[in-house]
Amino acid sequence: MSEKTTNVYSKIQAVKSELLAMNLKKSGENKYAWFKYYELADILPAIIDLCTKYGLFTRISFDNEHATLEISNVENSEESVFYTSPMRELELKGCNQIQALGGVETYQRRYLYLNAFDLVENDTFDAVSWDETKAEKKPATATASMQPTARFNDKELEQLKANVEWLQSFKTSDELIKSISTKYKISKDMKIKIAEVRANV
């Protein structure tokens, strides 16, 4: 390790550079907004290896208000950098409070590491906005063959529940249903279920 990478800031920057050169693959996929994202398993092995290489220690903690990632210089314990993210509650049908908390903490860990090491993802808001813009530009005289043929069923509903980040990008259930309806036919009963899912996010 050179003298240029002895303080915590230069070490973090060195990790960022090597992560960028690795071109890590994204295994997470949002089938509704058509974008891929990093899962923890995609980034943590590389981050752990590089932090070991450059003498960095990471620790994540949670309280009622914030999730915090601390990155410390192993060679100088007084050097630490902190990244924080506000905590948010998550309640989904079929999950108890502990499971919901685990889901929140998993999301927070991912976001904190992405932020700390500048790992770039697709912007969820832009992805959804672009998707809705495409739908709005469809000709008013669209033929039946251009309309969705697949029905939105219980399997898609369960997958929708897991896409918390995407769900939260919609201000109302009507906006969510409108986006889904560009790809699926949705029954009245299913629209009620989708609205309930959005209301519980």
- Cα dihedral 179, 182, 183, 186, rounded to 10, equals 80
Distance of CA 162 to the CA centre of its chain: 11
Confidence of residue 45 (pLDDT cuts 50, 70, 90): very high
Beta-bridged to residue 151, according to DSSP, are 185
168 φ/ψ sector (left φ>0, alpha ψ -120 to 50, else beta) = alpha
Which one has a higher pLDDT value, 101 or 143? Answer: 101
For residue 119, pLDDT beyond 70: yes
For residue 30, pLDDT beyond 90: no
| Terminal Cα-to-Cα distance of the chain (whole angstroms) | 46
pLDDT in tens, 138-181: 444 444 445 667 888 888 888 888 777 777 777 788 888 888 88
* Average pLDDT over the chain, rounded to an integer: 81
CB of 56 within 8 A of CB of 12?
yes
114-133: burial string, b at 16+ Cβ within 10 Å, e else: bebbebebeebeebbeebbe
CB of 72 within 8 A of CB of 8?
yes
- State the pTM of this model: 0.59
